[in-house]
């Protein structure tokens, strides 16, 4: 039994007749102790999908799924209160901007103790001791002195560590990290990712790492899902995806990285832009930009074909040489 099972999750906005599908029937699994990397550019729906799992998508967004199971429990059938018990305790989430994710009016200590109070209870003294322990775990030096610090007094890296401390306070089984290091400097970024991976290994948590940084996912994740305009276009292990990508979009993304064109003058850029709300093409969403598109691609939408571990949403998946199957 997987830790998290998502099947045909959709999030729609706008009118009923012509909805904007921010997330369009995506399915994936996360096992305990495994790191799933969800990669996509802006407009791919990667953040919205994790907000939907946490139950954080408000009106006017509409969430629907064939099945949304966490640890065997069907999340959709739970009441509001039961759902709230799980989120924050068993599933935790950290966000991109640590400066705006922490409440500027409360001290760091207050905010972590609040998380503990809501889910675990305990006396103030117990919670304080646990908070100091958590701050130590996330690598904040002299944690006792930091309890009374306000978020604006901390640097970006420190704030992100506090966020992580809050997230792991109740020993969650699954941690969702939405662009956790994007807003940070490079060396601090490396520290934070190392911290997340260390904690993940120690506690055998499932970790969903959402990012646009392909190289980061290549280094950190076991399984990878690539998203484009609200759909998952390819899944596989990190080494499979990055050495033999099967979807033209994955291939294009990899080729547009500077690392791919070392020594060459120009980068291999994919023309065009991600379709927005009003200009979704018929058929496969990538067809206006795909170098291999045929009439079939322009009129019909491909299914996601393959196994649960390795799948691709394309009529002509690329072979090992990087060319589409005839």
Partner 1 sequence: MSYILEAKDLKKHYEVSQGFLKPKATVKALDGVSFRIDAGKTLAVVGESGCGKSTLAKLLTMIETPTEGSLSFEGHDLLAPERAKELRQKIQIIFQNPYGSLNPRKKVGTILEEPLVINSQLSKDERKERALAMLAKVGLKTEHYNRYPHMFSGGQRQRIAIARGLMMQPSIVIADEPVSALDVSVQAQVLNLMMDLQDEFNLSYIFISHDLSVVEHIADEVMVMYLGKVVEYGSKEDIFANPQHPYTRALLSSTPRINPEHRIERIRLKGELPSPLDPPTGCAFNSRCQFAQDRCRTETPDLMDGVVACHGVEEGRLDYLQATQVATSAQPVEA
Partner 2 sequence: MTTQNLTISAPPSPLQEFWHYFSQNRGAVIGLYYVCLIIFLVIFADLVAPHPPYEQYRDALLTPPVWADGGSWRFILGTDDVGRDILSRLIHGARLSMLAGAMVVTLSLTLGIILGLVAGYYRGIVETIIMRVADVMLAVPGLLLAIAIVAILGPNLINASMAIVIVSMPHYIRLTRASTIGELNKDYVVSSRVAGAGALRIMFITVLPNCMAPLIVQATLGFSNAILDMAALGFVGLGAQAPYPEWGSMLANARQFVQSAWWVVTFPGVMILSTVLAFNLMGDGLRDALDPKLKQ
Told to check if 202 binds partner 1 by CB under 8 A, we report no
Residues touching partner 2: how many (CB under 8 A)? 10
Q: With CA atoms as reference, report the closest residue to 69 among 2, 12, 23.
A: 2
Residue 11 DSSP SS3: strand
Q: What is the DSSP string of 60-103?
A: T-EEE-SEEEETTEEGGGS-HHHHHHHBTTTEEEE-S-HHHHS-
> Which residues of 105-250 form beta strands (DSSP E)?
174-178, 206-211, 223-228, 231-237
Select the residue interacting with partner 1 from 13, 20, 150, 242 (CB under 8 A).
Answer: 242
Terminal alpha carbon distance of the chain: 37
Select the residue interacting with partner 1 from 99, 117, 147, 270 (CB under 8 A).
Answer: 270
Told to check if 156 binds partner 1 by CB under 8 A, we report yes
Select the residue interacting with partner 1 from 15, 17, 18, 187 (CB under 8 A).
Answer: 187
Q: Which of residues 281-320 bind partner 2 (CB under 8 A)?
A: 281, 288-289, 291
Looking at the DSSP assignment, which residues form a beta bridge with residue 74? 69
Candidates 79-87, 122-130, 145-153, 156-164; binding stretch for partner 1 (CB under 8 A) = 156-164
In this complex, which beta carbon is closest to partner 2, that of residue 57 or of residue 175?
57
Q: What is the DSSP-derived secondary structure letter of residue 39? A: E
Select the residue interacting with partner 1 from 273, 277, 305, 325 (CB under 8 A).
Answer: 273
- The answer to whether 144 touches 132, Cβ cutoff 8 Å, is yes
In this complex, which beta carbon is closest to partner 1, that of residue 60 or of residue 258?
258
Assign 3-state DSSP to the chain and report helix, strand, coil percentages, each to 5. Answer: 35, 20, 45
Q: Residue 210 and residue 180: Cα distance in Å, rounded?
A: 8
Q: Which of partner 2, partner 1, none has residue 121 at its interface (CB below 5 to 8 Å by kind)? A: none
Q: Which of residues 108-147 bind partner 1 (CB under 8 A)?
A: 141
Residues that bind partner 1 (CB under 8 A): 41-42, 141, 155-158, 185-191, 194, 212-216, 218-220, 242, 252-254, 256-262, 265-271, 273-274, 276
Residues that bind partner 2 (CB under 8 A): 60, 271-272, 275, 278-279, 281, 288-289, 291
């Amino acid at each position: 039994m997987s830790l998290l099972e998502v099947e045909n999750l959709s999030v729609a906005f706008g009118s009923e007749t012509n909805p904007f599908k921010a997330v369009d029937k995506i399915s994936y699994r996360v096992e305990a102790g495994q790191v799933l990397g969800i990669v996509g550019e802006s407009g791919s729906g990667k953040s919205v999908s994790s907000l939907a799992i946490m139950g954080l998508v408000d009106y006017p967004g509409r969430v629907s799924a064939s099945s949304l199971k966490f640890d065997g429990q069907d999340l959709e059938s739970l009441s509001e209160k039961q759902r709230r018990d799980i989120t924050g305790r068993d599933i935790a989430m950290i966000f991109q901007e640590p400066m705006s994710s922490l409440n500027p009016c409360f001290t760091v200590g207050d905010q972590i103790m609040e998380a503990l109070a809501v889910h675990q209870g305990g006396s103030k003294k117990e919670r304080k001791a646990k908070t100091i322990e958590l701050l130590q775990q996330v690598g904040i030096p002299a944690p006792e002195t930091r309890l009374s610090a306000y978020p604006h007094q901390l640097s970006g890296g420190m704030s992100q560590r506090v966020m992580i401390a809050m997230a792991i306070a109740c020993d969650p089984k699954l941690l969702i990290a939405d662009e956790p290091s994007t807003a940070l400097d490079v060396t601090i970024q490396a520290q934070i990712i190392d911290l997340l991976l260390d904690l993940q290994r120690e506690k055998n948590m499932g970790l969903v790492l959402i990012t646009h940084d392909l190289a980061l996912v290549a280094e950190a994740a076991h399984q990878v899902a690539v998203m484009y305009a609200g759909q998952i276009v390819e899944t596989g292990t990190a080494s499979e995806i990055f050495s033999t990508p099967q979807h033209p979009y994955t291939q294009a993304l990899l080729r547009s990285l500077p690392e791919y064109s070392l020594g060459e003058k120009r980068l291999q850029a994919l023309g065009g832009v991600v379709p927005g709300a009003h200009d979704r093409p018929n058929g496969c969403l990538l067809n206006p930009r795909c170098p291999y598109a045929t009439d079939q691609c322009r009129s019909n939408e491909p299914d996601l074909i393959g196994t649960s571990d390795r799948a691709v949403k394309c009529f002509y998946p690329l072979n090992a040489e990087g060319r589409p199957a005839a």
